[in-house]
Amino acid sequence: MNAIISAAELADELAGSNPPVLLDVRWQLGGPKLRTEYEKAHLQGAVFVDLDSELAGPAGDGGRHPLPDLEVFGAAMRAAGVCADRDVVVYDGGLGWAAARAWWLLRWTGHPSVRVLDGGLAAWDGPLTDKIPEPFPGTFAPAPGTLPLLDADGAAALARSGLLLDARAAERYRGDVEPIDPVGGHIPGAVSAPTTENVTESGRFRPAADLADRFESLGATGATEVGVYCGSGVSGAHQVLALAVAGIPAALYVGSWSEWSRDGDRPVATGPDPQ
């Protein structure tokens, strides 16, 4: 199954006899909680999921958005009506990063059928509602390990033995600026690959063939093990999603730069080159 779904395809499925569970994961980095926006208007039946409290654990040594407690995550998914035998579609405001984080977590914990609405809510031209749904409780029980996961040591090793992609903006990769984390730069050996280059101006993913060409030009071949990191494991999930669209499996370093840069003993590279 494709990892993304168009607005038109979603409209057809919602009108069918077995519509997918809808999760609304609108989120803004460093901004206010967007539940109020959800309460004003959302897709009918969609349940709001909070990225900071339900798709991540408390910020700390593990980074700004470490893995959530699986009991908390599982309870949030069940409250939203998620079951392992029912399709799930996730959307956000349009950037796609938060939706990708939810997609990755559900896939990593064993859900077999999760897709992201391509272009998010901005791509949806159907009806919206302010009615808060009360879904029948789901039965999903997280069982991690379906998708590959990297820790700091694994990311450092993969940067030497395979391909480690840095999904942040190029200026943060180079270390020209660092607006959030303790130090700028990148993991030595990592290749700059801003996730924003995987989408068009509309925020929708580029065609799969174009994405495959892009990742091949960065060093992703059939024989290459690929990993991704970003600032805190959110935009990196979006890059893993783009790789999935291109047919390339990839591991995510969830702690990402926000974890790496907290340890002053870890090496930091700067400039446009990987080393």
Q: Kindly write down the DSSP assignment for every residue of 82-102, as one continuous string.
A: --TTS-EEEE-SSS-HHHHHH
CB count within 10 Å of CB 216 equals 14
Rounded Cα gap, residues 77 and 175, in angstroms: 37
Question: 73 and 51 in contact (C-beta within 8 Å)?
Answer: no
Ranges of CATH 3.40.250.10 domains, the chain? 4-123, 149-260
Name the CATH superfamily housing domain 4-123. Rhodanese-like domain (3.40.250.10)
Rounded Cα gap, residues 243 and 161, in angstroms: 19
Please list the pLDDT of the chain residue by residue as tens digits (275 residues). Answer: 799 999 999 999 999 999 999 999 999 877 667 899 999 999 999 999 999 999 999 999 999 999 999 999 999 999 999 999 999 999 999 889 999 999 999 999 999 999 999 999 999 999 999 999 999 999 999 999 999 999 999 999 999 999 999 999 999 999 999 999 999 999 999 999 999 999 999 899 999 999 999 999 999 987 899 999 999 999 999 999 999 999 999 999 999 999 999 999 999 999 999 98
Rounded Cα gap, residues 124 and 117, in angstroms: 9
pLDDT, residue 32, reads: 67
Rounded Cα gap, residues 157 and 150, in angstroms: 10
pLDDT, residue 44, reads: 97
Question: The whole model's pTM is what?
Answer: 0.96
pLDDT, residue 229, reads: 98
**Nearest-CA neighbor of 120 among 25, 31, 39?**
25
pLDDT, residue 223, reads: 87
Backbone angles phi, psi at 171, to 5 degrees: -70, -30
Rounded Cα gap, residues 107 and 29, in angstroms: 23
pLDDT, residue 222, reads: 79
Task: Please identify, in words, the CATH class of the domain defined by 149-260.
Answer: alpha beta
Rounded Cα gap, residues 92 and 208, in angstroms: 21
- Annotated catalytic residues are 230
pLDDT, residue 144, reads: 98
pLDDT, residue 9, reads: 97
pLDDT, residue 33, reads: 77
Question: 260 and 198 in contact (C-beta within 8 Å)?
Answer: no
Label each residue of 137-161 as H, E or C.
CCCCCCCCCCCCEECHHHHHHHHHH
